[in-house]
């Protein structure tokens, strides 16, 4: 007689015994990633040991000299610090702002679709255009640049937004926030929609106020979304390239240099491809550290996979 | 009082979001002396004409580049879906130490900045003779987007009740048939969302597009950046082209919005 127990056993055997089929599902992805992600990484490692300008085969083997030069280059250190600053600002300024927007316009307000579309709009614009457009906005001449025109109109002190070494990174961060805030807001809005209404209604009946609701109920239930958006935000911040390159080329005097622009400069402007490859490897190591940190943080709070 | 304060801040953010678009529009119609003016005194539509139809000075119309972008976006999107949907299903349903490790290593791979791998990838593609071809560009975009595809799709599959396929199996349907006939149709909206994200990425990607496209495969971002030369930046042409180039994306987003909202809900949040 077929009992429920034996059926269940059969089902679970099905889930565990189809190893070969599982790997059939995974193979296409694995092959592509191997050829275009994993092999390039090893190739990069190889080039990084040479003094190579990209012409002909790499022959001038110099061992780890490139890495020594990187560590001793103050511009590289500056680039690392700037990149970390962007990561930090994104996590602690941009994301809370996105969350604020999401909570404000997330639910039950008229014209939700309008707000959603407007705030998402910059995300669709290519980085090239974003950078060019903001360069116009940041033009220090108030006749040519909107922002200084507004500052002038209010009688505030006008700034050289992209030319001032102390200000330039902040100016770039404003652009990055402008471009990516809508994406994170959309993540949060949908996360909020996911929270079951009855949980909050029950809490209201129990007499919690709005602030308590936010700290003890909404935010904890939203933690999965927040993790996702934090991960994507760090990812994006480490990869920032086109916006910085087009707006400032890393200047003035390296004040807005980030890892990507530093690498790009050596590889494709100065054609020191061996050195560029070594920078790439250092970037990979930094990314790896972030990934491992992220995973160990999430693994502790939630069962992964 | 507090509410008023909140609404003022929303209004300010709205202004901050839209002001650059206003600037984008007025600059694209400003005559050459009026760039950057809040209300340009001299307005002209000749730049739009140049972008839409080409002009005498040799700048080509936008359409062939838009077509290139759409082609590369479509190829990549289709392949990414073909590869990552089955993989995500595998990860979602058969969990083991090995599959978890492979899954996590995809995350690490996704973390790598695309710029870090430019040189070796160009060398590989150069040896294969794929520089300046659709295939070559697709081979860059596809592996970059596969982890994202797997990530989103796994979320959707995790949200699909296991009972559905268990019932099908008890009734004798095979694993692949169940996947094809039952699991895929249910996750149609998830697939649509993943497709939109992948497509947008390919449509606006600049770095690889500019390095790979020499003459035959020039996509929109490269075309638009081409109005900036070491000697001059032709702002109006650039921005007019940019505005036209985002129209298809806005339409796509409009269509997909309901899906996107639903999609992110079901997908990414699980991790």
Q: Which residues 6+ apart lie within 8 Å of B138 measured at CB? A: B72, B75, B76, B79
Domain match, B127 and B258 both: yes
> Looking at the structure, do residues B88 and B7 belong to the same domain, yes or no?
no
Round the average pLDDT of chain B to a whole number and report it.
Answer: 80
B16 belongs to a structural domain: yes
Give the CATH architecture of domain A65-124+177-304. Orthogonal Bundle (1.10)
B16–A44 C-beta distance less than 8 A: no
B127 and B156 in a single domain? The answer is yes
* pLDDT, tens digit (0-9, with 9 covering 90-100), for A57-104: 777 888 888 999 999 999 999 999 999 999 999 999 999 999 988 888
Residues A128, B38: C-beta atoms closer than 8 Å? no
CB contact under 8 A, A7 and B110: no
* Nearest CB to A21 within list B24, B83, B175: B175
Tell me, what's the pLDDT at B125?
86
> Nearest residue of A to residue B109 by CA position?
A37
Which tokens is B94 given? 């058969």
Asked whether residue A16 carries a pLDDT value surpassing 70, the answer given is no
Q: What is the CA radius of gyration of chain A?
A: 25
C-alpha Rg value of chain B to the nearest Å: 23
Residue A191 has pLDDT above 80, yes or no: no
Domain count for chain B: 2
- Answer whether A10 touches B (CB < 8 Å): yes
Q: pLDDT for B155-175, tens place per residue?
A: 778 767 777 778 888 887 777
User: Taking Cα atoms as reference points, which of B155, B156, B160, B189 lies closest to residue B271?
Assistant: B155
Q: In terms of domains, do B85 and B175 share one?
A: yes
CB contact under 8 A, B102 and A30: yes
Flag if A29 and B265 touch (Cβ within 8 Å): no
Which residues of B fall within a CB distance of 8 Å from A288? 108, 111
Q: Which of A6, A13, A40, A106 is the best residue to mutate to test the B interface, defined by the most B CB atoms within 10 Å of its own CB?
A: A40
CATH classification at residue B80: 1.10.3720.10
Q: Do B159 and B240 have their domain in common?
A: yes
What pLDDT digit, counting tens, does each position of A259-296 carry? 999 998 988 888 888 899 899 899 888 888 888 888 77
Domain that holds residue B219: 63-265
Strand partners, B228: B233
Residue of B nearest to A10 (CA): B170
In a domain, B270, yes or no: no
- Shared domain for B33 and B88, answered yes or no, is no
pLDDT in tens, A19-44: 666 677 777 777 777 877 888 888 88
* Cβ–Cβ pairs < 8 A, chains A and B: 271
Distance, in Å, from the CA atom of A123 to the CA atom of B182, rounded to the nearest integer, reads: 34
| B57 within domain boundaries | no
Q: Does A289 touch chain B (CB under 8 A)?
A: no
pLDDT (mean) for A172-178: 94
Tokens of B129: 């003779």
Q: Is residue B96 part of a domain?
A: yes
Residues B27 and B146 in one domain: no
The token pair at B209 is 């597009």
Search chain B and give the residue with CA nearest A125.
B246
Q: Is residue B137 part of a domain?
A: yes
Please tell me the number of Cα atoms within 13 Å of A296 on its side-chain side: 5
The string of pLDDT tens digits covering residues B212-256 is 877 888 888 888 888 877 777 788 888 888 889 888 888 887 777
The tokens of A195 are what? 């929270």
- Over residues A120-158, the pLDDT tens digits come to 888 888 888 898 889 888 988 888 788 888 888 888 888
Query: Does A222 or B133 have the greater pLDDT score?
Result: B133
Mean pLDDT to the nearest integer, B90-118: 76
- To probe the interface with A, which of B8, B35, B111 has the most A CB atoms within 10 Å? B111
Measured between beta carbons, the chain A residues lying within 8 angstroms of B269 are: 187, 190-191, 194, 224-225, 228
Judge whether B55 lies within some domain: no
Interchain contact, B94 vs A276, CB within 8 Å: no
Mutate to test the interface with A, among B113, B121, B124 (most CBs of A within 10 A): B113
Query: A130-134, A188-192, A213-217: lowest mean pLDDT where?
Result: A188-192
Shared domain check, B97 and B25: no
B258, part of any domain: yes
Q: A interface mutation test: which of B16, B18, B75, B115 has the most A CBs within 10 A?
A: B115
Residue B264: per-residue pLDDT: 47
- CA A190 to chain CA centroid, Å, is 19
d(Cα B158, Cα B155) in Å, to the nearest integer? 5
> Under an 8 A CB cutoff, do A260 and B13 touch?
no
- For A144, which residue in chain B has the nearest alpha carbon? B36
Domain contains B133: yes
């Amino acid at each position: 007689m077929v009992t429920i127990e034996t059926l269940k056993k059969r089902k679970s055997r099905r889930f565990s015994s189809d190893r070969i089929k599982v790997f059939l599902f995974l193979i296409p992805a694995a092959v592509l990633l191997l050829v275009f992600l994993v092999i390039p990484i090893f190739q990069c490692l190889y080039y990084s040991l040479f003094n190579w300008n990209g012409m002909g085969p790499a022959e001038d083997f110099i061992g780890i000299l490139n890495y020594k030069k990187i560590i001793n280059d103050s511009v590289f250190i500056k680039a690392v610090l700037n990149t970390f600053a962007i990561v930090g600002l994104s996590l602690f300024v941009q994301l809370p702002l996105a969350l604020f927007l999401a909570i404000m316009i997330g639910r039950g307000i008229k014209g939700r679709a309008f707000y959603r579309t407007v705030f998402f709009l910059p995300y669709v614009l290519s980085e090239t255009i974003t950078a060019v457009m903001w360069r116009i906005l940041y033009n220090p001449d108030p006749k040519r640049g909107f922002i200084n025109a507004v500052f002038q109109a209010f009688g505030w002190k006008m700034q050289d937004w992209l030319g001032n070494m102390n200000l330039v990174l902040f100016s770039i961060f404003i652009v990055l926030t402008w471009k990516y805030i809508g994406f994170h807001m959309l993540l949060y809005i949908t996360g909020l929609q996911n929270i079951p209404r009855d949980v909050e209604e029950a809490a209201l009946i129990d007499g919690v106020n709005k602030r308590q609701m936010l700290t003890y109920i909404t935010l904890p239930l939203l933690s999965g979304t927040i993790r996702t958006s934090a991960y994507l935000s760090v990812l994006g911040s480490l990869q920032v390239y086109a916006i910085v390159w087009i707006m400032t080329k890393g200047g003035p005097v390296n004040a807005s240099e980030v890892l990507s622009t530093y690498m790009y400069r050596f590889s494709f402007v100065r054609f020191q491809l061996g050195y560029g490859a070594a920078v790439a490897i250092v970037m990979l190591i930094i990314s790896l550290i972030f990934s491992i940190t992220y995973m160990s943080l999430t693994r502790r709070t939630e069962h992964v996979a | 009082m507090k509410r008023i304060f909140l609404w003022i801040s929303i209004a300010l953010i709205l202004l901050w979001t839209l002001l650059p678009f206003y600037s984008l529009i007025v600059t694209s119609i400003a005559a050459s002396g009026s760039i950057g003016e809040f209300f340009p005194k001299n307005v002209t539509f000749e730049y739009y004409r140049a972008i839409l139809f080409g002009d005498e000075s040799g700048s080509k119309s936008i359409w062939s580049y838009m077509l290139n972008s759409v082609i590369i976006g479509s190829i990549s999107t289709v392949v990414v879906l073909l590869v990552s949907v089955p993989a995500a299903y595998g990860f979602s349903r058969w969990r083991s130490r090995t599959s978890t490790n492979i899954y996590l290593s995809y995350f690490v791979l996704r973390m790598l900045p695309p710029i870090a791998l430019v040189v070796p990838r160009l060398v590989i593609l150069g040896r294969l003779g794929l520089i300046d071809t659709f295939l070559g560009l697709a081979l860059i975009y596809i592996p970059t987007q596969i982890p994202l595809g797997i990530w989103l799709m796994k979320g959707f599959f995790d949200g699909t009740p296991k009972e559905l396929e268990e019932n099908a199996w008890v009734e004798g349907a095979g694993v692949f048939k169940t996947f094809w006939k039952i699991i895929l149709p249910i996750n149609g909206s998830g697939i649509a969302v993943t497709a939109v994200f992948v497509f947008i990425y390919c449509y606006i990607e600049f770095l690889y597009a500019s390095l790979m496209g020499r003459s035959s495969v020039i996509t929109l971002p490269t075309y638009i950046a081409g109005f900036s030369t070491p000697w001059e930046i032709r702002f109006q042409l650039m921005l007019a082209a940019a505005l036209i180039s985002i129209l298809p994306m806005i339409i796509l987003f409009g269509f997909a919005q309901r899906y996107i909202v639903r999609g992110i809900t079901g997908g990414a949040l699980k991790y």
